[in-house]
Amino acid sequence: MAANEILESLMRCIERGKVNAKSPHPPDMKGQDGADELARKALDAGISPQDVLSKSMVIGMEHVGMRFRNKEIFVPDVLMAAKAMSAAMEHLKPFFATDALRHRGTIVMGTVQGDLHDIGKKIVAMVIEGAGWQVVDLGTDVSPEKFLNAVDQNPGCAVGLSALLTTTMVNMEATVRKVKSKHPGTKVIIGGAPVTPDFAKKIGADGYSADPQGAVEFLNTRCLQG
């Protein structure tokens, strides 16, 4: 296979959620190489790790994010795509360690204090990671102090806050206030079922997104580090 064919096939495997050759999903790709094998082939063919990531894997997850936004695919499809992305990423991890490959930036994410909902935030985190960003996932029920500590430990990072309960939205405001008071330049994006753009503006957040792809677009346009 030529280099461009390998990259295109890898992109398609990530978009379709084809993890490896043994994976029965999707049925029409049964028996074919998956993201795992193709990422290895790409590197063995001399394609740079940066090109494997940015010219194939990131584009595949970008398609996933857009299709999810347009309701062309659903949560199980996104999870399979993320699994394929993770399989391919295993081959690239050593290059991050040697500085031959760099993340676009870092985002600290978590569900705010008092809220234990995790699925939506995890999906957003998967798509963001697939877009080439390093995600520091703090989990659920995260206090403002824990967010601040994570920002202290990751200079230049962005922050993503999630809430699914109207009763915990107040903790978004407390977190934004605490982070901005010490790191005023930190970009904060918020999301979740009860959250609105007006609420984001009211509490001093820099952005709002109703879907994972919107969060990626925010990071790429507002937070990309040169």
The pLDDT, as a whole number, for residue 225 is 55
Using CA atoms, how far apart are residues 147 and 109, in angstroms rounded to an integer?
A: 8
The pLDDT, as a whole number, for residue 15 is 98
Q: Which of 97, 130, 161 is the last residue before a domain boundary?
A: 97
The model carries a pTM of 0.91
The pLDDT, as a whole number, for residue 100 is 85
CATH of the domain at 79: 1.10.1240.10
Length of the chain: 226
Q: Which of 36, 68, 97 is the last residue before a domain boundary?
A: 97
Question: How many other C-beta atoms are found inside a 10 Å radius of the C-beta of residue 21?
Answer: 14
Residues 139 and 164 reside in one and the same domain:
yes
Residues 11 and 54 reside in one and the same domain:
yes
Residues 111 and 172 reside in one and the same domain:
yes
Q: What is the pLDDT along the chain (226 residues), one digit of tens a residue?
A: 899 999 999 999 999 999 999 999 999 999 999 999 999 999 999 999 999 999 999 999 999 999 999 999 999 999 999 999 999 999 999 999 888 899 999 999 999 999 999 999 999 999 999 999 999 999 999 999 999 999 999 999 999 999 999 999 999 999 999 999 999 999 999 999 999 999 999 999 999 999 999 999 999 999 985 4
Sequence-distant (6+) residues with CB within 8 A of 185 are: none
Residue 182 belongs to domain spanning: 106-223
Q: Which of 97, 130, 145 is the last residue before a domain boundary?
A: 97
Residues 156 and 205 reside in one and the same domain:
yes
Residues 32 and 132 reside in one and the same domain:
no
Residues 68 and 126 reside in one and the same domain:
no
Examine residue 26 and say whether the peptide bond preceding it is cis (omega within 30 degrees of 0): yes
Residues 62 and 165 reside in one and the same domain:
no
pLDDT digits (tens, 9 = 90+) for 52-109: 999 999 999 999 999 999 999 999 999 999 999 999 999 999 999 888 899 999 999 9
Residues 88 and 113 reside in one and the same domain:
no
Residue 138: phi and psi, rounded to 5, are: -85, -5
CA atoms within 13 A on the CB side of 67: 17
Residues 87 and 139 reside in one and the same domain:
no
The pLDDT, as a whole number, for residue 99 is 83
Q: Report the number of distinct structural domains present in the chain.
A: 2
Residues 61 and 119 reside in one and the same domain:
no
Residues 178 and 195 reside in one and the same domain:
yes
Residues 22 and 112 reside in one and the same domain:
no
